[in-house]
């Protein structure tokens, strides 16, 4: 489930599925979409009849985090994905892509408070945010190749924009995981805090502090930062989504996910 709270202008979204390390099941993605749509409506954006004068600046920023101390979001739900074909995988990725674009396009700052694992879809969710804060126990990575697929929720696109092409290629092609200090060194996260509680508090405090600034100026800054990208995000996401979906017509995808669920080493054949 998704928990939400609005206090002193800080809208906190908590992915609460601790029994699965807060993995992004299709149901969780749909709940997140509903929450972000509600925020868009509150801020007066995202719909054809939206008007800047409708903006309710009672929300000055958003914090996204995960329930508990072990995981922000451990990744997408492998059990749900195992039996997908390319068509259903494309639909799944499109819903997730739309969600991450909605998050990125909110006119208020969005902070990811990463407490533990942020792997695969979890890292992709974090990278849709404007700023990533991490606790010391945070672990980041895009390990999809070990499952016979590629990142499908924005990893191939946004990771390059966070840490550059060389670092993104290394993490995506090797499936390597990095800790919070390494993520800080590479520029993936803005700051590291000693505990999950501390990182959530830091993100909350950051939103409260920026409330002293012009909300219109912040919204405009976000808009300009997005425009200066070399490639429009939706075009890049479409290319990644097509590659992700193609993986679901392979034997390697079936083997990789079956091995993960069975807690055994995968035997890939390249088919």
CB 11 within 8 A of CB 61: yes
Contacts of 249 (CB under 8 A, 6+ apart): 85, 86
The sign of the dihedral angle between the CA atoms of 255, 256, 258, 259 is: positive
Q: Measured between alpha carbons, how far is 165 from 140 in angstroms, rounded to an integer?
A: 17
Cα separation values, 117 from 71, 104, 159, 187, 236, Å: 4, 21, 16, 17, 26
In this prediction, residue 25 carries a pLDDT of 92
Q: What is the pLDDT of residue 47?
A: 53
Torsion of CA 157, 145, 94, 166, to 10 degrees: 0
pLDDT at 90: 94
In the chain, what are the domain boundaries? 2-194+215-227
Predicted pLDDT of residue 51? 52
Q: Which residues are catalytic?
A: 124, 144
Give pLDDT tens digits for 218-231. 999 888 888 877 66
pLDDT value at residue 45: 82
Going through the chain in order, the beta strands assigned E by DSSP cover 2-7, 10-15, 61-66, 71-73, 110-114, 117-119, 131-135, 139-141, 177-179, 191-193
pTM: 0.89
User: Would you mind telling me the total number of residues written for the chain in this entry?
Assistant: 271
74/119 Cα distance (integer angstroms): 5
> CA-CA distance, 182 to 163, in Å (whole number)?
11
Could you confirm whether domain 2-194+215-227 is CATH 3.40.50.620? no
End-to-end distance of the chain based on CA atoms, in angstroms? 37
Extract the residue ranges of the chain whose pLDDT is less than 70: 46-54, 230-231
Backbone angles phi, psi at 64, to 5 degrees: -110, 130
Contact 19/217 with Cβ under 8 angstroms?
A: no
């Amino acid at each position: 489930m998704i928990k939400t709270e609005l206090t002193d202008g800080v809208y906190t979204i908590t992915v609460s599925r601790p029994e699965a390390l807060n993995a992004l099941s299709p149901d969780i993605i749909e709940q997140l979409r509903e929450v972000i749509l509600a925020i868009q409506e509150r801020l007066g954006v995202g719909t054809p009849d939206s008007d800047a004068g409708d903006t309710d600046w009672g929300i000055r920023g958003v914090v996204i985090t995960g329930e508990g101390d072990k995981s922000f979001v451990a990744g997408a739900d492998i059990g749900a994905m195992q039996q997908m074909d390319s068509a259903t995988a494309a639909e799944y990725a499109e819903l997730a892509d739309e969600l991450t674009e909605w998050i990125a396009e909110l006119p208020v700052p969005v902070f990811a408070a990463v407490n533990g694992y942020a792997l695969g879809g979890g890292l992709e969710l974090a990278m849709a945010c404007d700023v990533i804060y991490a606790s010391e126990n945070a672990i980041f990575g895009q390990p999809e190749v070990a499952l016979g697929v590629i990142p499908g929720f924005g990893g191939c696109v946004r990771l390059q924009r966070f840490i550059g092409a060389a670092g993104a290629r290394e993490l995506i092609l090797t499936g390597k995981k990095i800790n919070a200090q390494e993520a800080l060194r590479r520029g993936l996260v803005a700051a590291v805090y000693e505990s999950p509680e501390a990182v959530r508090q830091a993100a909350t405090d950051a939103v409260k502090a920026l409330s002293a600034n012009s909300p219109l100026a912040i919204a405009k800054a976000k808009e300009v930062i997005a425009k200066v990208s070399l490639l429009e995000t939706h075009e890049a996401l479409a290319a990644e989504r097509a590659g992700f979906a193609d993986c679901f017509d392979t034997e390697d995808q079936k083997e990789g996910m079956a091995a993960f669920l069975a807690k055994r080493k995968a035997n890939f054949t390249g088919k």
